[in-house]
Homo-oligomer: A and B are copies of this chain.
Amino acid sequence: MAEQQIPKATVKRLPLYYRFLQRLYRSGRERISSLEISEALRIDSATIRRDLSYLGGLGKKGYGYNVAHLIQFLTHYLGHDEVTNVVLIGAGNLGMALLHHNFYMTKHLNIFAAFDKDEQKIGRTVNGIPIYAMHDFAELVRKAGIEVAILTIPVASVEPVVEQVVESGIRGILNFSPIRLKVPPYVRVHNIDVTMELQTLIYFLKQDAEYQEE
């Protein structure tokens, strides 16, 4: 790990580029310029060139980027050439929605197992994914080498569950609960908070409206 450390902002955009390029590739496109990507994705072309240049000399002056070549590079770079198994905790409404979906657009992501405390659900499968009791969590995670858990449980149950998750050796949590998880520093948490996103959107709309008026 010598050169390493690509800016966070860039990392967040890479999957966007990846997705766009795949669409492009399917449409039979051979080459693309940063300006064209820029127009499609509404990201400044200089930003795109800079982002891609962090990864190495992927473009050719006067030509642009070769679509197939760029996809190949990103696939490997983002680790999309191997399947990452994750687990889901909490098979309620939202959990079920994710189980049914199971990232079907994205072959390299897979929900390996789900967990719930409802006796009715334990032992069944949803979309081919088995539902277990939390009792079996640590063992399954260890055996299957799982590193990431998706958390879709009610706020009330979060604390004890997170403790169990952390103890099991999980290193990343995608958290849908609207509370800050108590985890040691080596565990990464990504929060998806629909309520907050909606509030923020509404706030900006109000601001727009006020700006109009004045």
Q: Which residues of A contact B (CB under 8 A)?
A: 1, 4, 11-12, 14-16, 19, 40-42, 78-79, 84, 86, 92-94, 96-98, 100-101, 103, 105-106, 109, 147-148, 150, 155, 171-172, 174, 178, 180, 186, 188, 190, 192, 194-208, 210-211, 213-214
Contact = CB atoms under 8 A, between A and B. Distances in A.
Dominant SS among interface residues on chain A:
helix
Contacts of A180: 40-42
Given A1-B210, A178-B105, A199-B109, A205 B148 contact: yes
A156 to B, nearest CB: 11
Contacts of A190: 197-198, 200-201
A-B pairs, 4 with minimum CB distance: A93-B97, A1-B214, A94-B97, A190-B201
Contacts of A97: 92-94, 96-97
Contacts of A207: 4
**Max chain B C-beta neighbours (<10 A), residue from A92, A150, A197:** A197
A188 B205 CA distance: 7
Contacts of A202: 79, 84, 147-148, 172
A11 B78 contact: no
Nearest to A199: B15
A180 B203 CA distance: 21
Contacts of A96: 93, 97
Contacts of A1: 210-211, 213-214
A51 to B, nearest CB: 14
A205 B147 CA distance: 9
A76 to B, nearest CB: 12
Contacts of A205: 147-148, 171-172, 188
